[in-house]
Amino acid sequence: MKDILVTRVIRWKKQVLSVLFWLLFPLIATSLFISFTEKIQQDTQVPIGIVLGEETPLALGVLDAIEQSPLVEVTQLTEDEALIQLEKHALDSVFIIHQGYEEQIRKGNRTNLITSYRSDRSLAYSPVKEMVVSFVQQETIRSKAAYVVMDLETKYKREIQRDWEEIIQKSKEVQAEQDLLHTTFQFQGATQPKNENPLFTWNVWGIWAVFTLLSTLLLLDWVIKENSSNIRSRFTFTKIRYHHYVVKNLLFYLGLFIIVDGFTLLFFYHYFSTQINMFVLFTFRVMITLLAFIIALLSKNVYLFYCGAFAFTLFITVISGVFLPVNGFIQEITWLQYVNPLHQFLSEEVTFIWLVGSIILLCLWYFRKEKVDA
């Protein structure tokens, strides 16, 4: 085994940069993709200024509702500061919630509650204004409804009469439970992080799995290069048969992959606070390595193999729903999940069917070679 490792190290020395690049490619590409898309999301948020004339529960409620929106980046300022920032075009628009806001709402007034400012470059003013107005209207109607409930409770002499705050609180609870309007896009297998409200939540391990499929295929191109070379004829006169040599090299690669996967696990946990069951990761890694190996064994031409690797990865990317939400059409075409080797991993399940299939194919190849070489 040591001798075979030395031969592999000799080969690796000639392609150290390429091997390192493709080994780290899933980790780097996933990290860059996630960081880039998050940055894009942040950059596309509209900067607005909110000036609070009072800090009553209703005014703070509107502020909180606006801040929760993934579309805007809210800065709370004084009126003077806000207008200066607006003049500098550092803010798209400014909304001032005046003193007496809560009182006016309680009275059922729906006009002149908020003043807004915009500049000649306030491109997003209209949709942001509509959003703010909708929040104010929501709170106004909620308040009005609370008064109606209070009046009804008085009229019908209910024993325990709730005050305005209680009714408002209950209303918010009901709204949160039966929220039909708020929809977030969620990718296959993704779990939504707590305390955040992004437009999209990515399945970090799903994205990693797609990049891993590609990198594993490309890293195993040596199987074709060495299989088709004249070198193979020499293995009749060496202490190790060619198929033993290939399988032992595959084990070295698998070991290397597992080490890098361990590092990836720590990295993702640290930077993206995402975890995965280690056994799920291990079975996926073994399966994907064996699958790539079998595909490489079946390939004769390394350039066709490269084209096939990219095409296969693209196909798996599309049907996996990692980058594009596919829940709709996956439900229509259920067999797609069976041809997707990433399916179980994306569902955080142990990759069983494809793993067993790959092991059977590998054994068939190995024992056939043993028979031929006997």
Partner 1 sequence: MLNIESLHKSFRENVILHNLTFTVNPGEIIGLVGENGAGKSTLLHILATISKPSEGSISLNDLSYTTERKKIRKLIGYVPQDIAVWEDLTVEENMVFFEKLSWVNQTKEELRNLCQEMKLYKWKEPVNTLSGGMKRKLNLAISLIHHPKVLLLDEPTVGIDLKSRKEIGTYLQKQAVENELMIIYTSHDMDEINELCNRVICIGKDPFYKDMLLNSGKEIISF
* Binding interface with partner 1 (CB under 8 A): 3-4, 6-7, 10-11, 13-14, 229-231, 233-240, 245
- Smallest distance, Å, CB 358 to partner 1? 27
CB 102 within 8 Å of CB 139: no
Closest to partner 1 by CB, 162 vs 248, is 248
- Smallest distance, Å, CB 237 to partner 1? 6
Helix (H) or strand (E) holding 96: strand 93-97
Closest to partner 1 by CB, 144 vs 241, is 241
DSSP track, 163-177? -HHHHHHHHHHHHHH
Give the span between the Cα atoms of 312 and 80, in whole angstroms.
Answer: 58
DSSP track, 45-95? SEEEEEEES---HHHHHHHHHHHH-TTEEEEE--HHHHHHHHHTTSSSEEE
Closest to partner 1 by CB, 81 vs 226, is 226
- Smallest distance, Å, CB 15 to partner 1? 8
Give the span between the Cα atoms of 260 and 241, in whole angstroms.
Answer: 29
Both tokens of 149, joined, read: 């409930």
- Smallest distance, Å, CB 240 to partner 1? 6
Closest to partner 1 by CB, 126 vs 228, is 228
Both tokens of 81, joined, read: 């500061």
Give the span between the Cα atoms of 134 and 249, in whole angstroms.
Answer: 64
Closest to partner 1 by CB, 111 vs 233, is 233
Give the span between the Cα atoms of 159 and 374, in whole angstroms.
Answer: 94
CA 285 to chain centre: 20
Give the span between the Cα atoms of 82 and 94, in whole angstroms.
Answer: 7
- Smallest distance, Å, CB 2 to partner 1? 9
- Smallest distance, Å, CB 225 to partner 1? 10
Closest to partner 1 by CB, 12 vs 366, is 12
- Smallest distance, Å, CB 12 to partner 1? 11
Closest to partner 1 by CB, 6 vs 298, is 6
**What are the CA-CA distances from residue 370 to residues 22, 240, 257, 295, 366 (Å)?**
32, 12, 27, 20, 6
